[in-house]
Structure formats: C-alpha cells, structure tokens
Amino acid sequence: MGKNVFLDDMKKPELSDYIGYNENGRGNLGDELPVMVYRLMEYSLREQLTEEFGSQEQIRIFRKAGYRAGVYFAEKLLDLSLELNPFIASLQARLEEFKIGVLRIESFDEATGRIVLTVSEDADCSGLPLLGETVCNYDEGFISGILSTYMGKAYLAVEIDCWATGDRVCRFRAEPVQ
Ligand SMILES: [Zn+2]
C-alpha cells in the first residue's frame, strides 16, 4: 500500500477551502457567473444522480447538500446573535447581495414556529416551464440549514409552490421537526 499523502500530511479540505474566492484567481473574469452556468451544473448533476440512484435518492442528496450549504451560509455570512426580525432582514439582504433570490416572509406562527416564506427571482427555477413538480430541493435543504442553525433546533423546509409547478414564486413551509 502506498503512503496516503493526502490523509497523512494534509488537513482534510473543508467546504471553505473550495469556495473562498480570491480575486487573484480570476483577475479578468471576476467573481460572477451567468445563472445559466449555475443551472447547467445543478441540473446536469440532478439528471446524473437521478439516472444512477433514482429520483427519491437524488432529492435526498440535494436536500442534504443544500442543508450543508445553509449551515455554512448561516455560520459564515449571517449574524446569528440578532433578534428574529433583524436576522430575517439581514438574511434578505444577503440573499439579494448574492443574487440567490428575493426573500419575503408570508407568515410566522409564534406558537408553532411555522414560517411560510417565498423566494422570487430564485436562482434555481425562476422562468422554468411548467414541469409538474417542485424542483428546488437544494433550496429546501439550504433554508432548513439556515433556520436550524439560527433557531438552535432542527427545522425542516418543504417547497409547496414553484415556477416548475406553475407559480411565479417559490413558496416554502418551514417548521420545527417534532
Ligand atoms: Zn422553485
């Protein structure tokens, strides 16, 4: 057996090692990519996972990956010490800043913790044709990860309306996991 240099001598890379943007790396092209390129990556990966593992497994993997991203986003890019309203305002600002989408809170039930929120101009699906199924499983995980991290308890977000089901926004229902 050859010596595993990677494991023996180096720290295992983390998410932050891959996504840290350094302007020296793309001096001419800069830090933005067209939405089409993002979707090409997302939907080719979606097709490949579905082909190899089936649709249920693809959805599960997208949700878990999105959750990972949401936890990262919350920990690195949001102020978790803020009260709920300013926290939501800062989350809205960040999502717009990164051109992920335009967040609106439709309702928050203090008794149950249930939140209904919409994302318009969503990077993943705005403008898609009617496909008959919600497609923003990555976003479900992403929102779950952000809310779970901020609330300090497990939250689950499910997409109930989507461009791909004929709506003009994506609508998510998020609630604490019982
Ligand atoms: Zn959607």
Instruction: Tell me 163's DSSP state.
Output: G
Distance 66 CA to ligand 1 centre (A): 14
**Helix, strand or coil, per DSSP, at residue 138:** helix
Predicted confidence at residue 105, as pLDDT, reads: 97
What confidence score (pLDDT) does residue 29 get?
86
Distance 23 CA to ligand 1 centre (A): 31
Map residue 100 onto helix, strand or coil. coil
Q: What is the DSSP string of 10-71?
A: SPPP-HHHHH---TTTTTTT-S---HHHHHHHHHHHHHHHHHHH-HHHHHHHHHHHHHHHHH
Residue with tokens 């959805």: 59
Whether 118 contacts 101, CB under 8 Å: no
State in Å: Cα 169 to ligand 1 middle.
7
Q: How far is the CA of 20 from the centre of ligand 1 (A)?
A: 27
Element (H, E) at 108: strand 102-108
Give the span between the Cα atoms of 150 and 87, in whole angstroms.
Answer: 9
Q: Do residues 115 and 147 make contact, with C-beta atoms less than 8 angstroms apart?
A: yes
Q: Residue 25 Cα, ligand 1 centroid: separation in angstroms?
A: 32
Instruction: Give me the tens of pLDDT residue by residue for the chain, a chain 178 residues long.
Output: 455 555 556 788 888 888 876 767 788 888 888 999 999 999 999 999 999 999 999 999 999 999 999 999 999 999 999 999 999 999 999 999 999 999 999 999 999 999 999 999 999 999 898 998 899 999 999 999 999 999 999 999 999 999 999 999 999 999 999 8
Q: pTM for the complete prediction? A: 0.91
Please give the pLDDT value at position 178: 83
Yes or no: say if 78 and 147 are a contact pair by the CB < 8 Å rule: no
Give distance in angstroms: CA of 21 to centre of ligand 1.
Answer: 27
> 111 C-alpha vs ligand 1 centroid, how far in Å?
27
